[in-house]
Amino acid sequence: MKKYVFAVFAVILIAIFAAPMQVQARSGRYMGFFGGISEGRRLPGTTETIIQAQGATRPNRNNATVLEYRELVFLGGRPELFEGTLEIRSGAPAPDSTSGTFVIEHRVRPRAGAGGVSITRDMFFTVTYRRPPNSNQILYTYEVTTWRDTINVPGAGTFTLDRNRSNFVVSVIEDQTPGVNYYRGNISARIFYSGGTNGETMVEKHGTFTGFNSAWSATETHIMNVSVVNDNWVVDYQIRPSVTVNKVLQFVRNTPTVISFEGNFMELHQSFAGLRYDIFIAPQFMWDEPRSGSESLTTFNVFEQLFAPDLAFLRGHPAEDDIHRLFAMEVLTGDPRHFDPSQAITRGQFMTALARALKLPVQEVVLPRATRGNQPEPVLLFSDVSTDRPEFRYIQAIVNSGVAQGRQGGSFDFDEAISRQEAIVTIVRALGLLDMWPSPTVVLPFADSDRVGNWAMRGIGVAWSLGIIQPDVNGNLHPTRAVSNAEAASLLNHMIDYLREGIVRDYADQLVNIVHQ
């Protein structure tokens, strides 16, 4: 008789073969720190993610990434546009370590044969990080170890960095929640350049940056106040660069009518970077020229075809589009013809779909040999989720990420129906946004708010404020009702839509248009 070990956190021999698919959030990942913009890095595609989750080789995080790059240079008094490339090499914190170091390298180069402003810059940082045990937060401190900077501005001369007198300080706090990595940091620098037609030039810059990354979108926005000072004039300005990458889902209907499928969804990987500047103090020769302006950089649009599931039997169903999208993105799997939208989804099925929607890293389970015979002995994470179930890895990922836990007695309640309030709170916990709701005592905007459990008040309030949930036609939420397959598809699709677009508006659109004097 096989011996089963029941424990919430059983000792399991594992081989991790899929690294987290989210882009590492470390600041300067997309733009560096000098106020320029880049095209940003493309997010992993659906096929790429799934193949890696099935055991493909782990990507090398230290591979160089070369990005299109633009920067406004004010060393000559006027904003002059540089166009070239930004090469980034970046290490990463060691898994599960509480402290350590890694290296980030930034190289800026002009394009061969390009006229106008020319920048040749090498800036390497040793990054020291630390995080408390069992915490999602990490603190980063950047120390400049190599810094070379030469800038040629037509009509103003060549400016060469005086490394001995210049300093550059960067500090960052990052919160690695299950579905989104959030970060915020500060930049402070005093930079001296020799050369140029006005002699020595000093640049002082102070600013903040915020950003996030997820499987569906990423953005980084800087707000930087800068002074350029020499013997003849002063320029004070603010620059607000921002870069956003995201994936948009589009349905393409087939033009010929004699074809085996009506059409299919495809994901558009897109990038947009823009910067705005406002000049507060300008040299006299700038008095009749614009004091504000902007630049933009739009580059790659990459399409990825997704599978076309057979869902003709759902035509006209209120959740048809949500279900279609999740099957196309392979958040829902299996034979779609056996999908019953009215059936209650179980806790395990919902958590599995949520893990796939967040693209959480999964692990391969390597079963130990039994003490007797040559048959492998299953070692269980939960008493009701055996290791031979295809959902096992996703439940393990959900638990490891902190999104959900098991029940008392070592069970996950995998086959029990999940209530609407638990499903909603789980989504908000996955987004790391439970603290957004001001107080559990704030009245929720639902006619049946009195039926919401005290433990669920904050999560439901946040989900409503983000637009992930809405009251029904009678103003009710039905918090204790079991979630149907169709309702689960709608909830998950609304979460993905928020990660595609909603969160981007808070981080990029609003910040770039704010002027802080």
Q: What average pLDDT score do residues 107-129 get?
A: 92
Listed range (107-121, 244-258, 285-299, 431-445) with the worst mean pLDDT: 431-445
φ and ψ of 395, to 5 deg: -65, -40
Residue 220 has pLDDT above 60, yes or no: yes
Residue percentage of the chain with pLDDT more than 90:
60
Q: What average pLDDT score do residues 8-21 get?
A: 30
Residue percentage of the chain with pLDDT more than 70:
85
Listed range (142-146, 252-256, 376-380) with the worst mean pLDDT: 376-380
Give the pLDDT of residue 266: 92
Give the pLDDT of residue 5: 31
Q: What average pLDDT score do residues 51-70 get?
A: 66
Residue 439 has pLDDT above 70, yes or no: no
Residue 367 has pLDDT above 70, yes or no: no
Give the pLDDT of residue 177: 93
- pLDDT tens, residue by residue, 266-299: 999 888 899 999 999 999 999 999 999 999 987 7
Give the pLDDT of residue 145: 96
Residue 489 has pLDDT above 50, yes or no: yes
- Of 163, 292, 170, the closest CA to residue 222 belongs to 170
Q: What average pLDDT score do residues 301-319 get?
A: 90
Q: What average pLDDT score do residues 340-348 get?
A: 95
Give the pLDDT of residue 20: 34
Which pLDDT band holds residue 16 (cuts at 50, 70, 90)? very low
Give the pLDDT of residue 254: 87
- pLDDT tens, residue by residue, 384-419: 887 878 888 898 889 888 898 888 778 888 999 999
Residue 510 has pLDDT above 80, yes or no: no
Give the pLDDT of residue 28: 54
Q: Where are the domains of the chain?
A: 14-304, 311-500
Q: What average pLDDT score do residues 487-516 get?
A: 81
- Give Dmax (Cα) for the chain: 90
Give the pLDDT of residue 372: 44
Residue 191 has pLDDT above 90, yes or no: yes
Residue 162 has pLDDT above 80, yes or no: yes
Q: Where are the beta strands (DSSP E) in 459-508?
A: none
Give the pLDDT of residue 406: 81
- Of 209, 167, 157, the closest CA to residue 35 belongs to 209
Residue 200 has pLDDT above 90, yes or no: yes
Give the pLDDT of residue 17: 26
Higher pLDDT among residues 436 and 417, named by residue: 417
Give the pLDDT of residue 15: 29
Contacting residues for 1 by C-beta, under 8 A, at least 6 apart: none
Give the pLDDT of residue 95: 77
Give the pLDDT of residue 135: 85
**Sign of the alpha-carbon dihedral angle for 21, 368, 416, 433:** negative
Give the pLDDT of residue 43: 84
Give the pLDDT of residue 75: 96
Mean pLDDT of the chain: 85
Which pLDDT band holds residue 459 (cuts at 50, 70, 90)? very high
Encode 86-118: b = buried (16+ Cβ within 10 Å), e = exposed.
Answer: bebebbbbeeeeeeeebebbbbbbbeeeeeebb
Contacting residues for 389 by C-beta, under 8 A, at least 6 apart: none
Q: What average pLDDT score do residues 135-143 get?
A: 93
Question: Strand 167-176 vs strand 292-297: parallel, antiparallel, or unpaired?
Answer: unpaired
User: Which of the 8 DSSP states describes residue 328?
Assistant: H
Give the pLDDT of residue 509: 64
Listed range (185-189, 267-271, 420-424, 496-500) with the worst mean pLDDT: 267-271
Q: 3-state class of 185 per DSSP?
A: strand
Q: Judge residue 260's burial from the number of C-beta atoms within 10 Å of its C-beta, 0-12 exposed, 13-18 middle, 19 or more buried.
A: exposed
